[in-house]
Amino acid sequence: MNIEEKIELPLLVVRNVVIFPYMVIPLNVGREFSVRAVEESLKRNSEIAIFTQKKIEKDEMKKDDIYEFGVLTNILKMVRFPDGTLRILVEAIKRIELKDFKIDEKTKMSKGEVVVLNEIGNQKDKDKEEEALYKIVKNKFETCLSRGLTVTPEIISPTIDVELPGRLSDIITAQLDINLEEKYNALKELDVKKRLELTIENLNKELDVLEIKNKIQDKIKKGMDETQKEFFLREQLKAIEEELGIQVENDEEVERYKNEFNKRKFPNNVKKLAEKEIDRLSRLPLDSSEAGVIRSYLDFIIELPWKDVSKGKLDVKKAKEILDETHYGLKDVKERILEYLSVKKISKELKTPILCLVGPPGVGKTSIGKAIAEAMSRKFIRISLGGVRDEAEIRGHRRTYVGALPGRILTGIKQSGKSNPVFMLDEIDKLGYDFRGDPSSAMLEVLDPEQNIDFVDHYLEMGYDLSKVFFITTANRLDTIPAPLRDRMEIIRIPGYSLNEKAIIAEKYLIPRQKKQNGIEKYEIVIEKMALEKLILNYTREAGVRNLEREIGKVFRKIVKKIVMGEEYPEVVNENEIEKLLGIPKYEMSDTEDIHDIGVVTGLAWTEFGGDVLNIEVNLVPGHGELILTGKLGDVMKESARIALTYIRSKIDNYNGDKEYYKNYDLHIHVPEGAVPKDGPSAGITLTTAIASKLLNKPISNKIAMTGEITLTGRILPIGGLKEKLLAAKLRGIKKVFVPKKNEKDLIEIDEEIKSGIEIKFVNYAEEVFEELQLQQG
């Protein structure tokens, strides 16, 4: 190595490029330490050291991240862009070696200590060996040019005329399409003879590539019509793959698909489309992306059950036994299923109904679908629609999109392997929509017996018959389901369970199941009826039995732990044992004491989780007649409060109340549990009674509850969810309930167990409630 001198210079680190002496090249500069280095160089004599970094993805630089050899350059021109980046034109002068690299903490500039190097050889007066290598390089370069090597046109003539062998090697190496490491090896080689040998090696590689390329071109041109561009491209691709040793033999796969479609029965339109796709596949390379899309499509068509149906014998009596064994109560649901099965047994014209099971969580909506499938000897498929916002989830994606998939409906049918499964669409009331479309609109075709005979999935691109599928949907509430979709379904309401019903369900289903799951079937452990009732009343508060099953499981797990630890465990679980095992009760029943409060009235509410009891409170505070509403009330409930206040003000004279109260007082209405949203019109009569109680200074018993929407004239309108509301009232110890007169017909469907112990008063007007509560007197 011939060292000339050691100097310190601003240093520029470049990515993915190796610069050789005598090159003039533009560079983009963006990193702060590089920009500062360029600025510092221009302040001095425009000299800057340029080195190549080893890994292009790194931004923070250390000496080990930079190749040791680089070039000393002059900056010829600099342009600054608005975003602070620079574009510079540099001329490389000499090879240099990096001895030290750092980024100045004050100036944030990259600089390095470098050694300027002299080459060994590279003279006009060459020795014989050098002369021979020089001529070989020139000849091979000219041969490459004649075979089609692509280089910058401006350098061809100057390159051929270069007399210095080292310079010739540098210019040619810079033009070759070789990797960064190979170019760097040529840069760091100071011995000109060795560098010429490297150049010859690289030129030989280039000649091999050019020869193969030309061979491919010649092979294609022999059998090609110049006007058939597509044919040319396909033949070129085939020739390249043959040269690389890739066998494009997809005849076997095409034959397999043909056999699949021949040996099974498919509708005619399906066969025609499949034949078209198979023909396309036969003309494509085996590993092309388009061939992959076609294979996935053909596989999906083959796996879809077009004519495969479950052929189990329909036995209506057996179906009734299965439904009774697996689910307690649910008379309406069972009756409707048995009606359908009975007609189906004797008539082939019956269109499959779309059932919608509506009720609170945990009442058995989803599990009844499995029982129906078992009763009908059909496959059962369930998908959850909660949170689905993309229409493509239902209808699928068009195959033109990358990663296209069929929709959930046909995917479920494919998984079942039959074209007539029982298909449960869970949580249909929780479908959403956004910029990707409206899934509920896509469901209109799925759930319409008149239309779903030819349901079109975007991925499949042809109709599929869904008329044989027994669709069952579930929902917690109906008001969030769009009206057109709701109209296509038969609504069957599943109300919450009474205390007695929950106890029976626990004894028949939940306790045996939890014993089995917790591995204590062989142990004679019994939960007493009173203990079970305590579990229901004090540890759960729900319309269904989901949490009840969790608590039963918790009891058994506590007992299992005692068994495993060798401790004494209770074989009979009574009320006291329940509290020992589960701790302090989560919920307390209402006090048996009858408390009378002024301005506090109990109302009954319906939620998607069942019935509930609300205490509405009213108070007067000094002010100017404002109405203050708190408790996270919805718009409808706020309107009910304003209607109630207007009605009371219009009738206050009849009750000897202070009709001038609003001049000196504000009326504050609050519904406790302020973090829980509340809405709906059925609190109207409760709000009215609470205001009257406060203005007339008359207390109301906490054992009295009421429900009903009120009008400005005091008329009480009917409400929904009467069974759930009465059930909640009974569990809270309510003794008397005021219900709209028009709901009297609903009482027929409510079990005597729920009605017993509660006095139900049907009323048409608010005056009837006030008369019953003796609110008329001053």
Q: 620-644, pLDDT tens digit by residue?
A: 888 888 899 998 888 889 999 999 9
**Three-state SS letters, 545-578:** CHHHHHHHHHHHHHHHHHHHHCCCCCCEECHHHH
Q: For the ranges 198-212, 387-401, 506-520, which has the lowest average pLDDT?
A: 387-401
pLDDT band with cut points at 50, 70 and 90 for residue 47: very high
Q: Which CATH class is domain 2-118?
A: mainly beta
- Helix 365-375 and helix 331-346, axial crossing angle in degrees, nearest 10: 30
- 364 labelled as ligand-binding? yes
Q: What is the spatial order of strands in the sheet that 600-607 belongs to?
A: 627-630, 665-670, 610-622, 600-607, 704-706, 736-740, 759-763
Among the residue ranges 12-16, 168-172, 317-321, 328-332, the one predicted with the least confidence is 328-332
Residue 591: pLDDT above 70?
Answer: no
Q: Quote the CA–CA distance of 307 and 636 in Å, as a whole number.
A: 51
Indicate the fold that domain 499-582 takes in CATH: Helicase, Ruva Protein; domain 3 (1.10.8)
DSSP assignment letter at 619: E
User: Distance between CA atoms of 185 and 694, rounded to whole angstroms?
Assistant: 96
Residue 366 counted as an annotated binding residue: yes
For domain 596-772, give its CATH number from 2.40.128.50, 2.30.110.10, 3.40.50.920, 3.30.230.10. Answer: 3.30.230.10
Looking at 248-252, 502-506, 744-748, which range is the least confident one? 248-252
Gap between the Cα atoms of 452 and 304, Å rounded? 16
In the predicted structure, residue 435 carries a pLDDT above the cut 70: no
Q: What is the pLDDT of residues 480-525, one digit of tens each?
A: 888 888 888 888 888 777 778 888 888 888 888 888 888 888 888 8
Question: Taking the CB of residue 249, how many other CB atoms lie within 10 A of it?
Answer: 8
CATH no., domain 316-493: 3.40.50.300
Cα(504)–Cα(516) distance, rounded to whole angstroms? Answer: 18
DSSP 149-213: ----GGGHHHHHH---HHHHHHHHHHHS---HHHHHHHHH--BHHHHHHHHHHHHHHHHHHHHHH
pLDDT given at position 681: 86
Least confident segment among 125-134, 155-164, 620-629, 732-741: 155-164
Q: Is 361 annotated as a binding residue?
A: yes
- pLDDT band with cut points at 50, 70 and 90 for residue 246: very low
Average pLDDT over residues 690-709: 90
User: 248 pLDDT exceeds 60?
Assistant: no
Instruction: Render pLDDT for 547-573 as a digit per residue (tens, 0 to 9).
Output: 888 989 898 898 888 888 888 888 888
pLDDT at 230: 65
pLDDT of residue 624: 83
Choose the weakest-confidence range: 253-262, 359-368, 540-549, 553-562: 253-262
Q: Concatenate the DSSP letters of all residues of 63-88 into one string.
A: GGGB-SEEEEEEEEEEEE-TTS-EEE
Which one has a higher pLDDT value, 373 or 2? 373
What pLDDT sits at residue 73? 93
Name the residue ranges covered by the structural domains of the chain: 2-118, 128-217, 251-303, 316-493, 499-582, 596-772
CA 466 to chain centre: 26
| Overall average pLDDT of the 318-344 stretch | 81
Q: Which of 193, 651, 678, 725 is catalytic?
A: 725
686 marked as part of a ligand binding site: no
In this model, does residue 20 exceed pLDDT 60?
A: yes
Mean pLDDT value across the chain:
83
Section 432-461 average pLDDT: 80
DSSP state of 325: H
Q: What is the CA radius of gyration of the chain?
A: 43
Q: Is the pLDDT of residue 380 over 60?
A: yes
| Helix, strand, coil in percent for the chain, rounding step 5 | 45, 20, 35
Cα gap 88→527, rounded to integer Å: 87
pLDDT band at 90 (very low <50, low <70, confident <90, very high): very high
Percentage of the chain beyond pLDDT 70 is: 89
What number is the average pLDDT over the span 51-60? 87
So what's the pLDDT on residue 122? 65
Share of the chain above pLDDT 90, in %: 15
* Whole-number pLDDT of residue 18: 92
Task: Mean pLDDT check: name the lowest of 155-164, 223-232, 700-709.
Answer: 223-232
Q: What is the pLDDT averaged over residues 221-233? A: 60
CATH code for the domain defined by 128-217: 1.20.58.1480
Among the listed residues 34, 419, 682, 693, the single catalytic one is 682
pLDDT band at 463 (very low <50, low <70, confident <90, very high): confident
* Per-residue pLDDT, 456: 86
| Residue 682 bears catalytic tag | yes
Task: Give residue 311's pLDDT.
Answer: 76
Q: What is the DSSP letter of 746?
A: G
Binning pLDDT at 50, 70 and 90, where does residue 225 land? low
Decide if 570 contacts 559 (C-beta within 8 A).
yes
Tell me the pLDDT band of 66, cut-offs 50, 70 and 90: very high
Q: Which tens digits make up the pLDDT trace of 295-306?
A: 888 888 888 888
